[in-house]
Structure 1
């Protein structure tokens, strides 16, 4: 049953994730965290951060890892196939149709109308992460990380993977430091 659920979850993501990885992320979140509860928001955030730090399409990386975590090797293959099969089929069909009607205004309008919807979906997911970060870190640290990341990525041109890696190292060092402080206080 879990393999069928994995397939259906990532097939829906593959079918509805028009626009690539960024538009798929909220859909994966909905399936994995909210519908099937295979992981919580913190785990999902970790998978998303690591997936963004590695090369390649985010949707297939997330499908592969989540599939492996839920159903082992078979689950991984199942989730990746469920993610890419709709894309392959739709690409062939849609490109033939769009190519035949590419000069029509309705086709150009349809393509342009999708962009704001994807932007809103990403904005909602981002706000959810900001609110969850506020709960774990407080507003001051959350806003400092947001501003620092924005400056580092946009103004300094540092790749997001480097920023994510730096924040992961900072978090690991901070946890080890707090753990050693607790050990000192306990003894």
Structure 2
């Protein structure tokens, strides 16, 4: 475990400095470094981590770093590394806050547009790679239905209620009702056959 602390420390520092601007935008970097290069996680563990961090409220990069650090270093060192991971964001936010009072508003607009464009491009690339990987697992109608439900949910559900966990609970409630109805129907058919 000792030999993993400093490489993880450098990795966390790198991810947190270049990852200012969004959790899912930095997930490809985490995958490239932690899964493909360093082999700290398997691809299955990474996929589960992405799913869980997107279902939980809060910053997904911190959750991903926490999972990676605790898995590889243990609880105490993992928590210390996670706390350190928050520091670059606090520092960058403080610097941006101080600079915002001195910069003209047009510069702030240009910075925002540039950052949003890069984040959108990285997210589209990340989504495309997952879509092409899942092509063999999901048929097109199911994929389109999932996409449309997600799009409608993201666009039309107001902010405090658009947590993914609500969609999952609703989905499993509907699935449970459908399964229960199918179970009751099969019981009636079995009774009718006797």
Please list every run of 5 or more consecutive structure 2 residues that lacks an aligned counterpart in the other structure.
176-194
Which residue matches 1:154?
151
Please list every run of 5 or more consecutive structure 1 residues that lacks an aligned counterpart in the other structure.
171-187
Are residue 86 (structure 1) and residue 88 (structure 2) matched? yes
RMSD between aligned alpha carbons? Answer: 2.4
Count of matched residue positions in the alignment of Structure 1 and Structure 2: 163
Give me the whole-angstrom Cα distance separating, in 1, the residues matched to 2:104 and 2:24: 25
Cα distance per residue 1:96-150 (max 9 Å; x no partner)? 11221143x3332122111111111111111221222235x1xxx2534432222
Give me the whole-angstrom Cα distance separating, in 2, the residues matched to 1:22 and 1:99: 29
Give me the whole-angstrom Cα distance separating, in 1, the residues matched to 2:120 and 2:85: 21
Give me the whole-angstrom Cα distance separating, in 1, the residues matched to 2:66 and 2:83: 9
Question: Which has more radius of gyration?
Answer: 2
Cα distance per residue 1:150-180 (max 9 Å; x no partner)? 222233557533455658xx9xxxxxxxxxx
Contact 1:51 1:61 in 2 (8 A): yes
Which residue matches 1:23?
25
Give me the whole-angstrom Cα distance separating, in 2, the residues matched to 1:83 and 1:8: 10
Q: 1:63 offset after TM fit, Å? A: 1.0
Which residue matches 1:112?
113
Contact 2:23 2:60 in 1 (8 A): yes
Which residue matches 1:39?
41
Instruction: Give the TM-score, by structure 2 length.
Output: 0.73
Of the three residues 63, 66, 69, the one matched with 1:67 is 69
Give me the whole-angstrom Cα distance separating, in 2, the residues matched to 1:142 and 1:68: 36
Contact 2:31 2:46 in 1 (8 A): yes
Structure 1 69/29 Cα, relative in aligned 2: closer, same or farther at 3 Å? same
Contact 1:14 1:82 in 2 (8 A): no
